[in-house]
């Protein structure tokens, strides 16, 4: 392992744009800091060159070649006019086909709508499916934009705290049942796989949630954006595929996390409840915008031709998640963390390390590593002492991140 300081001095970074093969057999290990620092996205632009960013949920890898080709094809054909989609984009059928193939969930493409973003789809579902003042439940910690934006729609949040047990993060179903009844809750925003804990709900947990959804007559908005990145033996089960759930569920998904395409701004919503679909469709057609041709082409390319790339990235991330646990156990033993079951985001409890309420802010200065602050992931201080680390990078860069944190926290514990 390298010691702290400048990453480029310590490790044999590739200096060129990553290609499709690497001498070490894992193309995702061949990305280099020089190339990453040329990127225009906010992840690599926000901080100076002395900082290694591991905060935003973008992977450090270039997209699948099929995606580049699909976009290039549009450019080559100079085909950038209004699209010819009369009854929705081809994404509707492609999504239905993919859900049937991957999960045995048979859905009617006629019930699928396009959005630009998963968060937009979530807010549209709440806007059309609930009323002013209605209560909306969500497990916390959670993806910060939900905590920020749901109240701006005039809906009241009911946070459902998850518990950090010895074996991982869990939901207290008895308490949930009680809180749903006490608050007369109308909707549940389910994030599964979960950000930031990396949990994948088991079939038993989902069945229990389905039971509660029926019992409390909830609209369920199921954000499944991380579902492409699941590590065996965990399995993704679309919530709407459970018996009787499709007609009360809006499922949101996109290729943006699994295929690293957040910038193309393209997502889909399977709108199960017929009445909600009607209200959605009756809104002025241009109010929410329409999908752009690059986003649709890129997403279609991943869903139809991206399986090999996806398997390779999941295999790489699987190694990275184990490395992270090994590194943390060895080099930052007081940090508490569970091996994630999906995705590339690790939720780390730094409370034993005396890094203050916002370890990300402390480590930005002391370790020159940018983690995502835990503060915004829960209300009432629930995220204090936590930070989220994105490990979707090369082995060397992850090693450097942990080395820097380890050195900084050693200093923190033994200032002299």
Ligand X SMILES: Cc1ncc(COP(=O)(O)O)c(C=O)c1O
The CA-based angle 183-239-198, given to 5 degrees, is 85
Q: What is the distance between the alpha carbons of residues 69 and 48, in angstroms, rounded to a whole number?
A: 32
- Of 96 and 267, which CB lies nearer to ligand X in the complex structure? 267
Q: Return the closest-CA partner of residue 376 out of 171, 160, 157, 141.
A: 141
Taking every pair of C-alpha atoms in the chain, what is the biggest distance, in angstroms? 69
372 near ligand X, rule: CB under 6 A: no
What are the tokens at 237?
A: 């089960």
Closest CA to 224 of 212, 242, 208: 242
Least separation in angstroms between residue 172's CB and ligand X is 21
- Smaller CB separation from ligand X, 119 or 276: 119
3-state secondary structure of 157: strand
Q: How far is the CB of 77 from ligand X (least distance, A)?
A: 27
Q: Indicate the residue among 7 and 346 with the shorter CB distance to ligand X.
A: 346
Give the interface segment with ligand X, choosing from 5-13, 43-51, 115-123, 308-316 (CB under 6 A). Answer: 115-123
The piece of 62-70, 117-125, 282-290, 359-367 that touches ligand X (CB under 6 A) is 117-125
Q: Is 225 in the site for ligand X (CB under 6 A)?
A: yes
Q: How far is the CB of 224 from ligand X (least distance, A)?
A: 9
Check binding of 143 to ligand X (CB under 6 A). yes
Tokens 């989902």 locate to 206
**DSSP letters spanning 161-213:** E-EEETTEEE--HHHHHHHHHHHT--EEEEESS-TTT-----HHHHHHHHHHH
- Residue 150 touches ligand X, criterion: CB under 6 A: no
- For ligand X, which residue of 267, 317, 369, 397 counts as binding (CB under 6 A)? 267
The verdict on 302 binding ligand X (CB under 6 A) reads: no
Per-residue contact flags (x/-) with ligand X for residues 189 to 208, judged by CB under 6 A? --x---x-------------
Crossing angle of helices 307-331 and 395-413, rounded to 10°: 20
For residue 223, state whether it binds ligand X (rule: CB under 6 A): yes
Could you tell me the end-to-end alpha-carbon distance of the chain, in angstroms, rounded to an integer?
Answer: 24
Residue 119 contacts ligand X per CB under 6 A: yes
Q: How far is the CB of 401 from ligand X (least distance, A)?
A: 19
Q: Does 371 bind ligand X (CB under 6 A)?
A: no
Residues 6 or more apart whose Cβ sits within 8 Å of residue 415 = none
The residue ranges that bind ligand X (CB under 6 A) are 57, 117-119, 143, 191, 195, 223, 225, 254, 256, 262, 267
């Amino acid at each position: 392992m390298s010691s702290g300081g400048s990453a480029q001095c310590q490790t044999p970074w590739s200096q060129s744009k990553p290609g499709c093969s690497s001498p070490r057999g894992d193309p995702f290990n061949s990305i280099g800091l020089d190339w990453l620092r040329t990127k225009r996205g906010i992840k690599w632009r926000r901080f100076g060159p002395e900082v290694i960013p591991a905060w935003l949920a973008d992977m450090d890898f270039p997209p699948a070649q099929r995606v580049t080709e699909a976009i290039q094809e549009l450019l080559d054909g100079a085909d950038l006019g209004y699209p010819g989609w009369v009854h929705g984009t081809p994404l509707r059928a492609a999504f239905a086909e993919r859900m049937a193939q991957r999960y045995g969930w048979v859905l009617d493409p006629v019930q699928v709508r396009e959005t630009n973003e998963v968060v937009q789809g979530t807010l549209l579902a709440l806007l059309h499916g609930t009323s002013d003042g209605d209560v909306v439940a969500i497990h916390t910690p959670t993806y910060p934009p939900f905590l920020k934006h749901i109240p701006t729609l005039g809906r009241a949040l009911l946070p459902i705290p998850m518990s950090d047990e010895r074996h991982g993060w869990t939901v207290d179903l008895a308490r949930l049942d009680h809180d749903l009844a006490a608050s007369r809750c109308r909707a549940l925003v389910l994030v599964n796989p979960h950000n930031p804990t990396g949990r994948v709900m088991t079939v038993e947990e989902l069945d229990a949630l389905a039971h509660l959804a029926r019992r409390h007559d909830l609209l369920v908005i199921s954000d499944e954006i991380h579902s492409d990145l699941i590590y065996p033996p965990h399995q993704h089960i679309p919530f709407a595929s459970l018996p009787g759930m499709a007609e009360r569920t809006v499922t949101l998904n996109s290729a943006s996390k699994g295929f690293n395409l957040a910038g193309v701004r393209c997502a889909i919503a399977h709108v199960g409840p017929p009445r909600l679909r009607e209200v959605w469709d009756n809104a002025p057609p241009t109010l929410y915008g329409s999908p752009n041709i690059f986003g649709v082409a890129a997403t279609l390319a991943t869903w139809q031709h991206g399986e090999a790339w996806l398997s390779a990235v999941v295999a790489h991330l699987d190694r990275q998640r184990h490395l992270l646990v090994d590194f943390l156990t060895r080099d930052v033993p007081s940090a508490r963390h569970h091996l994630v079951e999906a995705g590339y985001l690790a939720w780390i409890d730094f409370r034993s390390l005396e890094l203050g309420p916002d370890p990300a802010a402390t480590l930005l200065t002391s370790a020159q590593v940018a983690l995502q602050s835990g503060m915004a992931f829960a209300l009432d201080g629930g995220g204090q002492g936590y930070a989220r680390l994105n490990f979707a990078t090369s082995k060397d860069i992850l090693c450097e991140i942990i080395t820097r944190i380890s050195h900084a926290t050693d200093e923190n514990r033994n200032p002299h």
